Amino acid sequence: MRKPLLIPEHLVREAQLYAPSRDPLDAVCHCLADYPRLVAEARQMRSRLSQLDSEASALDQRLEALQIACRSILDL
């Protein structure tokens, strides 16, 4: 015999905001089915953010080297 899962009403209402269906069961199922995709996208975004952070750091170093070279040229 299956035991019904009691989901708090506020979570059902939030699921209904994001799901294409307003039916409580369909809305919750949609959110649960979509969860793995959202987690994967969040991981990809974190990875891309880390990559952008590294690129920004490298750019800052290059800019600093360029500024030093420009100051040296001006001092000539």
Residues 14-68 have pLDDT tens digits of 999 999 888 999 999 999 999 999 999 999 999 999 999 999 999 999 999 999 9
pLDDT at position 22 is 85
Is this structure's pTM higher than 0.75? Answer: no
Could you give the 3-state DSSP secondary structure of residue 45? Answer: helix
Could you give the 3-state DSSP secondary structure of residue 21? Answer: coil
